[in-house]
Structure 1
Amino acid sequence: MKGKGSRNKAPLQNSGKLSAWSSFWRFPIVWMIAGAVGILLIDAFFRQLTERVEGIASLILTLIMGFLAILVYKLTMTRLARRSAPEISGQRAGMEAVRGILTGTVFIAGSAVMITALGGYSFQWASSADTSSVLASSLGAALGAAIVEELMFRGLLFQVLVKMGGSSLALAVTSLFFGAAHLGNPGATWWSAFAIVLEAGVLLGAAFLWRRNLWFAMGLHFAWNAVEGLLGLPVSGHSAAGLFTVKANGDALLTGGSFGLEGSIVPVVVSLLISVPMLIAAARNRRVEAGNGNLLVSK
C-alpha cells in the first residue's frame, strides 16, 4: 500500500513535466520554427490548388490561404510564444494596409517612371492581353507572397531577433536573409541580392518598425509586386504577363537586366530615401514609448 507522500509525488512530477514542455515551446527558436513550418505547409497546399484554377477562383483561394496563414501566426504567438500579437491586430488593419499599398505603389511606379525618363524602359500596351486574367493572376501572386513573406520575415524571424538582441539586430539580419533568399531566383546576381537587402529588407523592416504592425508592411509588399506584374516587369526575376510589353534599353545597372526593376540602382536609392525617415520616426516613437513604459520592440 502506497503512503500519502507517494500519492502527492505523481501530481508534482506531472506538473514538472508540463512546465518543462511549456518552457520548450516558449523557447524563441522553437516557436519560430513551428510557426514557419505551419505557414509554409499552408502556402504549399494552396499553391497546388491555385495552379489548377484561373481568374477569380485563384484569387479567392489565395485570400483563404492568407487568412489561415495569419491565423497560424497568431496562434503561434499567443499559444506557443505566450505573448500578445498587436502587430497583427485587426484594429486599423484596413487603414494600415491601404497606407502600405499607397506607399508601395508610389515607390515602384515612381522608380519605373524615373528609369523610363532616363531611357531605360519603353512601354507598349499589350493589346492581346486578357485584362481580367492579368489582374487576377498579378494580384493573387502578389498577395500570397506579401502575406507569407511578411509573416515569416518581419513577423516570426524579426520577433525572435528582437528578443535576442533588439530591433537593430533584427533589421540587419532579416534584411540580409531576405536578400539571400532571392539569390536562387532567375537572373539573380550578387548585386541584385544586395539591392534586395537595401530596397526590400531595409525598407520593409523600417516600415514595420515605424508603423508597428504587419498590415502596413504587407500592403507595401503587395503593391510592390502587383505594380511590377501589371506593368509587365519581372518580379524578382520571375517574368510576368502584364498589361504592357516592356523593352529594356541600356546598362543593367539602370534597368535591372533580366532580374527586373529590383536589380536597378534607381529603386535602391529611392528606397533609402523612404527608409531613412521611417527609421528616424521609429526611433522617435521608441523613445516616447520607453518613457511611457510601453514598448513593443526594444532597443
Structure 2
Amino acid sequence: MDKKNIKQKILHFPLTKVIIGLIVCGLIIGLGQTLIQKGLNFTNIDKDLKTLIGGIFVAVLAIISYTYLFKFYEKREITEFSKKGIIKNLLIGLVLGVILQSLTILVIYLKGGYSVISINPILFIIPPLTSGITAAIIEETLFRGIIFRIPEEKLGSYISLLISAFIFGALHISNPNSSLSAGIGLAIQAGLLLGAAYIYTRNLWFPIAIHFAWNFTQSAIFGANVSGNTISKTLITSKIEGAEWFTGGQFGPEGSIQATFFCLIATIILLVLSHKEGKIIKPYWRE
C-alpha cells in the first residue's frame, strides 16, 4: 500500500473527520463570536439586542463553516441543510418541542408545583430567544452534524446514537446545578431524541427546531431554568416548587422524570418510523 493511500485512509477515518470538523468549526465560531462582540461594542445598540445580533451571527457562521468544510472535505452536496422541506421540518419540529416541554410543565402544574408570579414586557423574550437560537443551531451542527453523523457511516445508526447521546449527557454534567441523573436525563431527552430526529429526516433543521422550541418554551414562556442556567429575562416569571424528581430542582424541568419519559416516547416513535422507511444505517460489518 503506497503512502498516498495510507494518508487518504487516515484523513477520511471517521475519528479524524470528527476531530477536524470540531476543531475547524469550533475555531471559526469562536473567532466569529469574538469579532462580532468587539464590533458591536462600538455601537449604542441595547445590550439585549447586541446579544441577539451576535448570537444570530455566530449561529449562521456555524452553518456556513460546517457547509463549506464538509463540502470540500467529503466532496458532496450538504443535504443536511437543504432548503427542500425546510418549512415542514421547522414547523413540525417547533410544534413537537413545544408539546414535549408543555407536557413536562403540565405534570408540575397538576401536582401544584407551578404558579405564575408575573407577566413581563414582550421584549423580555430577547435573551431566551438569543440563547435558544444559538444553542440549537451550534449544538445540533456540532453534535448531530459531526459527532453523530460521521461515526454513523461506519458504526450504524444505533451505536452512533448511543455514543453521541452519552457524550451530550456527559458534557452537561458540568453545568450549574447539574447531577449524574440530570446528565442521564439529557442524554435521553436531547441525545437520543435529536439524533432520532436527524435519522428520520436526514437533515439538521428538524432537530434544530425541536431543540430551539424546547429551550425557548421552557425559559421564555414558562420562566424555568434551562440545563441549570437561569435566563436573565423571561416573558413569564414563575415559581416552581416541589420534589426534585418532577420539578428538576435548580437544574430545571429537564431534570424531571416526566421530561425523560415524554422525550423517550417521541424517540421510540421516530426510530420505529425510521426503521419502517429504511432510514436506519447498519454497521459496516453487517452490510
Q: CA–CA distance in 2 between the matches of 1:141 and 1:45?
A: 18
User: Does the CA contact (< 8 Å) of 1:25 and 1:81 recur in 2?
Assistant: no
Q: CA–CA distance in 2 between the matches of 1:298 and 1:148?
A: 27
| Aligned AA (1:183) | I
Q: CA–CA distance in 2 between the matches of 1:110 and 1:119?
A: 14
Q: CA–CA distance in 1 between the matches of 2:65 and 2:4?
A: 23
Alignment of 1:232 with 2:223, yes or no, is yes
Q: Which has the larger radius of gyration?
A: 1
SS where residue 53 of structure 2 aligns? helix
For residue 174 of structure 1, the aligned residue among 164, 172, 178 is 164
Alignment of 1:93 with 2:83, yes or no, is no
Question: 1:25-64 to 2 correspondence within 5 Å?
Answer: 25-48=11-34, 49=36, 54-64=47-57
So what's the TM-score if we normalise by structure 1?
A: 0.83
Aligned to 2:66: 73
So what's the TM-score if we normalise by structure 2?
A: 0.87
CA RMSD after TM alignment? 2.2
Alignment of 1:143 with 2:133, yes or no, is yes
Q: CA–CA distance in 2 between the matches of 1:69 and 1:280?
A: 31
Q: CA–CA distance in 1 between the matches of 2:174 and 2:100?
A: 25
Q: CA–CA distance in 1 between the matches of 2:10 and 2:192?
A: 32
Alignment of 1:187 with 2:177, yes or no, is yes
Q: CA–CA distance in 2 between the matches of 1:45 and 1:76?
A: 16
Identity rate, percent: 29
Alignment of 1:159 with 2:149, yes or no, is yes
SS where residue 116 of structure 2 aligns? strand
User: Does the CA contact (< 8 Å) of 2:32 and 2:61 recur in 1?
Assistant: no
| Aligned AA (1:232) | G
Aligned to 1:5: none
Cα 1:47–1:75 change in 2 (3 A) is closer
Cα 1:20–1:105 change in 2 (3 A) is same
Give CA deviations for 1:255-295 in whole Å, capped at 9, x if unaligned: 10010010011111111121111110011111xx6xxxxx8
Q: CA–CA distance in 2 between the matches of 1:94 and 1:58?
A: 26
